[in-house]
Structure 1
Amino acid sequence: MSRNHHEDSDAALLDILTAPVKPTPKVFARRDAALDPLLIAAAAASGPNVTRNHYHHDFFPGVALPQHEGSWDWTKFSGGDAADRRRLTYKSLQAPRRQRLHEELEEGKENDPLDLEADPLKSADNIPHSAKKRRSSIISPATEVKPRAKVASTLEHVAPSPVPALPPVEVKCMARTRIPTPHGPAFLHLYHNTRDTKEHLAIVIDPAQLSDHRGPVSAPPIRSRTLDAVWEGETEMDRITRGAYVGRLSATSQKVSEPVASISPEVNPDIPSPLIRIHSECFTGETVGSMRCDCGEQLDEAIRQISLPITVPSPSPLLTGPTTIPGRGAVVYLRQEGRGIGLLSKIRAYNLQDLGHDTVTANLMLGHQADERGYEIACAILRDLGLGGVAGTDEGEGVRVLTNNPDKVEALQKEGLDIVERVPMIPRSWQKRDPSLVAKKPTLDSNPYIVQHNDDERVAGATLIGGNAVYGDDLDKYLRTKVVRMGHILPLWMEEQSV
């Protein structure tokens, strides 16, 4: 079949499709298969394969609009309604981005202002910035344009949307109960809050609450304001069930507590401020007994130190010598596994640590910050317990914080917590080292990690590690990273070996 014959056939087919009146039929040679003009029009006008790189052939509505008069017989098509056809008008999306952006601004569209000078892949605050190199092979020098400065100047008048400030955190103690620990009695408080859906805890050490008889020297009780408050529609048994009682609860002692007064009670200036610890949850270190970290040891050590008796001067000259009162304070237990990245990411970070990365780098490689914890909820819990108060005021008691982390102290102070002292927490294994062996290379016979440590003697404690010490190479790498990369205030015992 000749080329001219094909052209004649195509022209005749186009006349059939576009002519308002059916033309006089012409006889022309068939192709390999008969072509249905309705099928061609329907495939071109609509369908799932039409993308922004295609366009709608507006021959006539065809089968895409069955209600139209020409949808069944194309010879009856009279052009249709112009408004209907405007809906099929194609608008190119392939214009240059700066031209489209300029058109959108002129049309008054409420687009979010774009900072074109900013790096969209901006790293986290604690990741050092790296210089970006542009690939010269993508745009040749002859065709390269610089639209950034011009477009940015166009957007200067658009103010960025302010980030809405989160409301202050509110906490409520839902329940309180007595728990015996290897270090003495404690009160476990469970809190709900308005910031997240987690159930955070407070372990309050205040054995004086179990006694109805106060000695010559006494400190004010550490009680929750929201727990002792009277809730609507509850009975006395409801209050006792959730822990709003005083003294020791028993079958014969069921004294309901009174709401805590808003005015802080007077505090004996000779009694040290309560000792507190803000502790983040660590399933691996506390429950499994992992020795990659010392979290389990720290939790037990915090409860032990807070429970130690306090020696205070005698208030009366008739009494000879100092007197002692039970230790008092609290451990706020936050559900912030893995410095806030969660247990799943923490387990993955462990594998990266086995590949040679430290804890900080492993977190960054997983897309997290080195430390994602927050302490707003902890401060709200402490204030509910009457601890921490507000710096520079007489509200509540000041606290001594048991930590080596200066960032944690700074974060607590930003929340208005009144911190009177930072108490260091030295790892137990470091306390038991033999100084004469630290400078030497450890061997099986002389290992400074396990001096004075006997695995056969199990010391009772609050976690799986208990009163024993965590030790090993993994722990030393973990602690060294805390000191070198996170600024924890600890003497770096193994510095001489690491050089």
Structure 2
Amino acid sequence: MHVPLSNPDSDAALLDLLTGSERPTAKTILPRRDAALDPLLIAAATASGPHVTRNHYQHDFFPGVMLPQSEGSWDWTKFTGDDASTRTERKRLAYVSRQAPRRQRLGLDDTQGGKENASPLSPAENLPTSHQKKRRSSLAQVTDERLRNPPTTQPESTRSVHQSLAPLEVKCMARTRIPTPHGPVFLHIYHNNRDSKEHMAIVVDPAQFSGPPAPDAPPHIRSRTLDAVWSADETEMDRITRGAYVGRLSPTSRVSSQAPEGLASALTVPRDHSHPAQQVTGLSNAIPSPLIRIHSECFTGETVGSMRCDCGEQLDEAIRLISQPITIPSQSVSSPSKTIAGRGAVVYLRQEGRGIGLLSKIRAYNLQDLGHDTVTANLMLGHQADERGYEIACAILRDLGLGNPDGAGESVRVLTNNPDKVEALEKEGIRVVERVPMIPRSWKSRNPHLVDHAASLQVDDARVEGATLIGGGAVHGEDLDKYLRTKVLKMGHILPLWLDNPEQ
């Protein structure tokens, strides 16, 4: 349908009204002008110059229109705009990454994307079919190669970045008493200069409630950075609030680790690097080294109660074993045996899913449901089988006076089935004198003659108290058995395979 551009009669009437000598009255009625294009506005815009369009009239695009003091705000013919030669370029901030691109860290090239989501199972829907096949093939080759030769060392690009960082420093920011089903523990919160995560240490040392250690007792497990003086104007309440206190806090007992002076010196002697011999004075050689565990965060196993892994069970078992009383055999016929409280620590690292993060861990679970094991699933997502690091954990142990290589701290016994973890601790200078196995509770129940704790697992549907959602019970099921088999057969964990024959 043809739409006329204008009504000649209405345009003529409007032109007479605008240019005529007689002023319009209130009763002046003009015919409607319903043209699709308004020729008068087009004519006015054309007469104003090529830089003005009808939209300038409709929307007031002139910057000075609303500013009466600005030249050209009322007379648009005087508006010249900004001089392009006088404009200054806006400063652009450049982001400098402190880690190498992912494709370099994984040893991939640009054709493979190097992204976490670049999985052979989920190509983009809008890519050409030929490109999908090429991408799927290249990623499959990379996955197969990583399965045949899994990376065991950190890529050169990442190592060079870490070498350029400042020396690792950790600082205990707070400490408090936490009652658990296995007894009281001291929870320590740590900050460091490598990441923004709050790693923790769960210290089992109830002897601290009685004050300074006795001459014939082992030293207390305390944080050196927490007990240090942070500022010249800090008060005793500041120190107590962050946890630098001795004994047990109560409305009538509040003694910081600095007062009185004799008490403070007694606490700092065991960690005085200038007098390493003092820390063993009066101690019996029969007292075993503190029992520790380096435990990585597992939201699914510890909080949700997932039975895909035994992480929640391991955390509870570690605290239970460390809390067990220690019997010191008598050194002579006349002296009886002595029992002291259990002592040790669990260093809790925020390394979900062996360091790949919770998001990738959930995706790996879906790949496991498709038939892959935990190692293959990580490799298919572009990760290593295990991306955890233990530098921060070792720094936390040294801060607690455990495993120090210079003789100022105690050697440690490590609760783990992973020989790579022991090797990593020893490379960082931690003195490990024994590896204590962590046998799954479901496997213990199949071999009750091996452990005394197996009897508590035989209760009928009764919940055994514990530190995680799984409590003191045992994780079991087909998913767990497959997970443990993979850790033994592909990751070198030291565990007997009792799954097929419980009598072995």
| TM-score, normalization by structure 1 | 0.63
Q: How does 1:92-241 map to 2 (within 5 A)?
A: 120=109, 127-128=147-148, 163-164=160-161, 165=163, 166-212=165-211, 217-232=216-231, 233-241=233-241
* CA offset digits 1:54-97 (Å, max 9, x no partner): xxxxxxxxxxxx99xxxxxxxxxxxxxxxxxxxxxxxxxxxxxx
C-alpha distance in structure 2 between counterparts of 1:483 and 1:162, whole Å: 28
Q: Kindly indicate whether the alpha-carbon contact (under 8 Å) linking 1:429 and 1:450 is maintained by their aligned counterparts in 2.
A: no
The one-letter code sitting in structure 1 at the alignment partner of 2:496 is: P
Q: How does 1:396-415 map to 2 (within 5 A)?
A: 396-415=409-428
Which residue number in structure 1 is paired with residue 489 of structure 2? 484
Structure in which a larger fraction of residues adopt helix: 2
Relative distance call for 1:480 and 1:318 in structure 2 (3 A) is: same
User: Secondary structure of 1:167's partner?
Assistant: coil
Unpaired segments ≥5 residues, structure 1: 1-65, 68-114, 131-159, 437-448
Q: Kindly indicate whether the alpha-carbon contact (under 8 Å) linking 1:278 and 1:333 is maintained by their aligned counterparts in 2.
A: yes
The one-letter code sitting in structure 1 at the alignment partner of 2:487 is: K
Q: Kindly indicate whether the alpha-carbon contact (under 8 Å) linking 1:433 and 1:450 is maintained by their aligned counterparts in 2.
A: no
Q: Kindly indicate whether the alpha-carbon contact (under 8 Å) linking 1:297 and 1:469 is maintained by their aligned counterparts in 2.
A: yes
Which residue number in structure 1 is paired with residue 6 of structure 2? none
The one-letter code sitting in structure 1 at the alignment partner of 2:243 is: G
Q: How far is 1:212 from its partner?
A: 3.1
Which residue number in structure 1 is paired with residue 473 of structure 2? 468
1:254 aligns with 2:254: yes
* CA offset digits 1:98-137 (Å, max 9, x no partner): xxxxxxxxxxxxxxxxx9xx9736959954359xxxxxxx
**383, 386, 389: which one pairs with 1:368?**
383
Relative distance call for 1:470 and 1:162 in structure 2 (3 A) is: closer
Relative distance call for 1:126 and 1:334 in structure 2 (3 A) is: farther
Q: Kindly indicate whether the alpha-carbon contact (under 8 Å) linking 1:183 and 1:307 is maintained by their aligned counterparts in 2.
A: yes
C-alpha distance in structure 2 between counterparts of 1:161 and 1:171, whole Å: 21
* CA offset digits 1:6-36 (Å, max 9, x no partner): xxxxxxxxxxxxxxxxxxxxxxxxxxxxxxx
Unpaired segments ≥5 residues, structure 2: 1-82, 85-103, 115-141, 151-156, 259-263
Q: How far is 1:161 from its partner?
A: 12
Q: How far is 1:329 from its partner?
A: 0.2
Q: Kindly indicate whether the alpha-carbon contact (under 8 Å) linking 1:173 and 1:189 is maintained by their aligned counterparts in 2.
A: yes
Q: How does 1:347-358 map to 2 (within 5 A)?
A: 347-358=362-373
* CA offset digits 1:416-445 (Å, max 9, x no partner): 110000000100110111699xxxxxxxxx
Q: How does 1:422-461 map to 2 (within 5 A)?
A: 422-433=435-446, 453-454=458-459, 456-461=461-466
User: Secondary structure of 1:420's partner?
Assistant: strand
* CA offset digits 1:363-395 (Å, max 9, x no partner): 1111111100000000000000000111xx422
User: Secondary structure of 2:178's partner?
Assistant: strand
C-alpha distance in structure 1 between counterparts of 2:325 and 2:221, whole Å: 16
1:394 aligns with 2:407: yes
1:299 aligns with 2:294: no
Q: Kindly indicate whether the alpha-carbon contact (under 8 Å) linking 1:225 and 1:384 is maintained by their aligned counterparts in 2.
A: yes
**285, 291, 296: which one pairs with 1:275?**
291
Q: In the comparison of the two structures, how many residue pairs are matched?
A: 341
Q: How far is 1:239 from its partner?
A: 0.3
Q: How far is 1:454 from its partner?
A: 3.9
Q: How far is 1:169 from its partner?
A: 1.3
1:286 aligns with 2:283: no
C-alpha distance in structure 2 between counterparts of 1:126 and 1:418, whole Å: 33
C-alpha distance in structure 1 between counterparts of 2:188 and 2:305, whole Å: 24
The one-letter code sitting in structure 1 at the alignment partner of 2:428 is: E
Q: Kindly indicate whether the alpha-carbon contact (under 8 Å) linking 2:375 and 2:486 is maintained by their aligned counterparts in 1.
A: yes
C-alpha distance in structure 2 between counterparts of 1:455 and 1:351, whole Å: 33
C-alpha distance in structure 2 between counterparts of 1:129 and 1:407, whole Å: 17
1:420 aligns with 2:433: yes
The one-letter code sitting in structure 1 at the alignment partner of 2:329 is: P
Q: Kindly indicate whether the alpha-carbon contact (under 8 Å) linking 2:213 and 2:219 is maintained by their aligned counterparts in 1.
A: no
C-alpha distance in structure 2 between counterparts of 1:451 and 1:257, whole Å: 40
Q: Kindly indicate whether the alpha-carbon contact (under 8 Å) linking 1:297 and 1:465 is maintained by their aligned counterparts in 2.
A: yes
Relative distance call for 1:254 and 1:318 in structure 2 (3 A) is: farther
Relative distance call for 1:204 and 1:162 in structure 2 (3 A) is: closer
C-alpha distance in structure 2 between counterparts of 1:161 and 1:188, whole Å: 32
C-alpha distance in structure 2 between counterparts of 1:277 and 1:410, whole Å: 14
C-alpha distance in structure 1 between counterparts of 2:159 and 2:457, whole Å: 58
Relative distance call for 1:215 and 1:315 in structure 2 (3 A) is: farther
Q: Kindly indicate whether the alpha-carbon contact (under 8 Å) linking 1:275 and 1:399 is maintained by their aligned counterparts in 2.
A: yes
The one-letter code sitting in structure 2 at the alignment partner of 1:415 is: E
Relative distance call for 1:185 and 1:451 in structure 2 (3 A) is: closer
